[in-house]
Amino acid sequence: MLKHRVDHLIGRGDPASPALTFKTTTLTYAELARRVAEVAGGLHALGVRRGDRVAVYAEKRIETVVAVLATAAAGAVFVPVNPLFKARHLGYVLADCGPRVVLTTKERLETVREALSPSVEHVVVFGTPEWDALSGEAPEAGVIDDDPAAIMYTSGSTGGPKGVVLSHRNILAGAASVATYLGHTNEDVVLAALPLSFDAGFSQLTTSLYAGAHVVLVNYLLPKEIVRLCAKHGVTGLTCVPPLWLQLVEQDWTSVTSLRYFANTGGRMPRATLARLRGHFPEAKPFLMYGLTEAFRSTYLDPAEAQRRPDSIGKAIPNAEVLVVRPDGTPCAPGEHGELVHRGALVALGYWNDPERTAERFRPAPGPQLAGRPEIAVWSGDMAYRDEEGFLYFVGRTDEMIKTSGYRISPAEIEEAAYATGLVGGAVAFGVADPVLGQHIALVVTLREQDTEALSRALARELPPYMLPQRIEVLAELPRSVNGKFDRVELRRAVEQVGIG
């Protein structure tokens, strides 16, 4: 039996029920708990102790999940590294967090060797005798809720990736909160389509295990493969980011009748896409969500409100409070734009080895500090407003707002107008330095039909003159970040430095 915080996550499932499936292999909850305990003991035998870091650099598979859970069970800190990282990015992460052990796959071993930092004492490859021998008696980890459990690296617009440190409390409170509003039960089958190194992807895993549900792991290949797996396994829950939904909405979903809900995170879902998904899944509940790695998850829109308020990010998730405040911390009036501030049990511990950026983002919560010491909240850097009924609306990131001709414009407004024309497959808008306007608006799109003039005319019918793009660039495909979102940084760099087309 497990004797640590991980037991609160996977010890709730029926021992005989399926916990994880990857391809043709399925582990029950009893088998998963046993293997996690064995590997935790094996890591302890390698010298891993409370607070040590263990990097897991692998695609989604049974061993990957076992590795991250076993690391936490051993009292150490797991670092899930995006499997798409090349040696340069991996090297940055390893040098920054200083892991004692790296767990990886045969295909990635050479990249690991290129990126190794002096701290690494052991590299263990899944599927080898060394991995199979990683076994021992599960240690008494001795951790408490506020101890670090994970470091999740998230890209920033400037500087290197930031390692967000999550506590055991963050992970368990997040799993309980999300499982509550998604209504997860042990009868759910959840397709894990997002990377485990992405907070929303990891949340899919923890939320499902917390509820005793069945998680089907998939490494994204083609949209039709996701459809096939949903039909094969009777998937009841599917969460994706907007670029993936834009591809999935074009598929034939007639074979999928089991979906109970579908959810969006990582950016605004275009209204047209939401409408088409509701047509595909008339019985499924749509959950529109907003989150940030520093707080794991922040808001969701009640599915009953999706038809009335498709642009809203909803209200705070259970066991959290999300405020909209002015720069001085006072609350904004309804309709007034301000910064989103998240407080509660899901607020992360800060950025690993980065006190300067931690101090910028993790600051005392607005309002009186009645306990005698400051409560630390996450000041998100995201602009939003609240309507008269308390529903929140995302405006944009402070550093992404377009400032042109004296106006402040959210890129999302322009992108939504582009999607509404029905002419684009993908759209990203941003401001480019301009000596006269301050910034002019650039719009990069993929077109269903190669007619930029038609798009320009359609946008002119949708937008006021000051919001019209001065420049429209067309690509065959928009680049994505390692988490599947449109890569705004790369697109901006291409437009500003060398141009596109």
> What is the pLDDT tens value at each position of the chain, 501 positions in all?
344 567 788 878 899 999 999 999 999 999 999 999 999 999 999 999 999 999 999 999 999 999 999 999 999 999 999 888 888 889 999 999 999 999 999 999 999 999 999 999 999 999 999 999 999 887 787 899 999 999 999 865 445 678 999 999 999 999 999 999 999 999 999 999 998 998 999 999 999 999 999 999 999 778 999 999 999 999 999 999 888 898 999 999 999 999 999 999 987 888 889 999 999 999 999 999 998 889 988 999 999 999 999 999 999 999 999 999 999 999 999 999 999 999 999 999 999 999 998 999 999 999 887 777 889 999 998 899 999 999 999 887 777 778 776 666 878 888 888 998 989 999 999 888 777 677 889 999 999 877 889 999 999 888 878 789 999 999 988 988 777 788 888 888 877 765 554
Q: Which helix (H) or strand (E) holds 56?
A: strand 53-57
List Cα–Cα distances, 16 to 31, 64, 67, 213, 233, in angstroms: 9, 21, 21, 12, 18
Measured CA angle at 355 (ends 326, 166), to 5 deg: 85
Q: What is the DSSP letter of 480?
A: B
CA atoms within 13 A on the CB side of 460: 8
* Whole-angstrom distance, CA of residue 360 vs CA of residue 450: 44
Between CA 76 and CA 201 the distance in angstroms is 21
Give the number of other CB atoms < 10 A from CB of residue 56: 25
Question: How wide is the angle at C-alpha 450 spanned by C-alphas 491 and 497, nearest 5°?
Answer: 25
In a domain, 217, yes or no: no
d(CA 339, CA 383): 5
What CATH number did the domain enclosing 444 receive? 3.30.300.30
pLDDT for position 1: 36
CA distance 352 to 163: 5
pLDDT of residue 4: 59
Tokens encoding 295? 């707080």
Question: pTM of the prediction?
Answer: 0.84
Helices (H) and strands (E) in the chain, counts: 15, 26
- Is 494 a member of any domain? yes
* Domain hosting residue 419, numbered range: 402-498
Least Cα distance to 286 among 277, 294, 295, 299 occurs for 277
199-210 helix and 168-182 helix, angle to the nearest 10 degrees:
70
Cα separation, 158 vs 357, in Å, equals 11
Q: 295 phi and psi, to 5 degrees?
A: -130, 5
The span from the first CA to the last CA of the chain, in angstroms, equals 60
Question: What H or E segment, with its residue span, contains residue 411?
Answer: helix 411-420
The full 3-state SS of 12-47, as one line of letters, equals CCCCCCEEEEECCEEEEHHHHHHHHHHHHHHHHHCC
Alpha carbon distances (Å) from 358 to 217, 362, 369, 376, 394: 33, 6, 20, 11, 23
438-447 and 25-28 beta bridge pairing: unpaired
Spatial separation of the C-alpha atoms in residues 431 and 413, rounded to whole Å: 13
Cα distance between residue 404 and residue 289, in whole Å: 29
Q: Rounded CA gap, 290 and 345, in Å?
A: 17
Residue 188's SS3 state is coil
Residue at 479 is within a domain? yes
Asked whether residue 417 is assigned to any structural domain, the reply reads: yes
What pLDDT digit, counting tens, does each position of 114-135 carry? 999 999 999 999 999 999 999 9
Q: What is the pLDDT of residue 237?
A: 98
- How high is the pLDDT of residue 487? 86
Report how many domains make up the chain. 1
Residue in the structure block whose two tokens are 């890591």 = 43
127 part of a folded domain:
no
Q: How far apart are CA 91 and CA 153, in angstroms?
A: 13
**CA dihedral over 422, 425, 428, 434, signed as positive or negative:** negative
Q: Tell me what pLDDT residue 408 has.
A: 67
191 falls within a domain: no
Are 344 and 376 in contact by the 8 Å Cβ rule? The answer is no
447 found inside a domain: yes
Of 98, 112, 101, 107, the closest CA to residue 134 belongs to 101
In-domain check, residue 12: no
